[in-house]
Amino acid sequence: MDTADALLGPFEGFHLAQVNIGRLVAPLDDPAIEDFTKNLSRVNDQGRAMPGFVWLLEGTDPELGATDIAWPGDPEMFVNLTVWESVGALRDFAFSGEHRALLTRRKEFFQKLPEAFATLWWIPAGTRPTVQDAHDRLARFREHGATPHAFSFQRLFAPEG
User: pLDDT tens for residues 21-33?
Assistant: 999 999 989 999 9
Identify the sign of the CA torsion 128, 13, 48, 20. positive
Average pLDDT over residues 105-125: 94
**Per-residue pLDDT tens over the stretch 39-58:** 888 888 999 999 999 999 99
What percentage of the chain has pLDDT greater than the value 70? 97
Does residue 13 surpass a pLDDT of 70?
Answer: yes
| Domain formed by 3-144, architecture | 2-Layer Sandwich (3.30)
Q: Say yes or no to pLDDT of 104 above 80.
A: no
Give the pLDDT of residue 161.
Answer: 63
| CA distance readout (Å), 103 to 10, 20, 127 | 24, 11, 27
What is residue 3's predicted lDDT score, i.e. its pLDDT? 56
Q: How crowded is residue 25: how many other Cβ atoms within 10 Å of its Cβ? A: 15
pLDDT tens, position by position, 78-91: 999 999 999 999 99
Question: Taking residues 143-161, what's their average pLDDT?
Answer: 94
Could you tell me the residue ranges of all domains in the chain?
3-144
Mean pLDDT of all residues in 100-105? 78
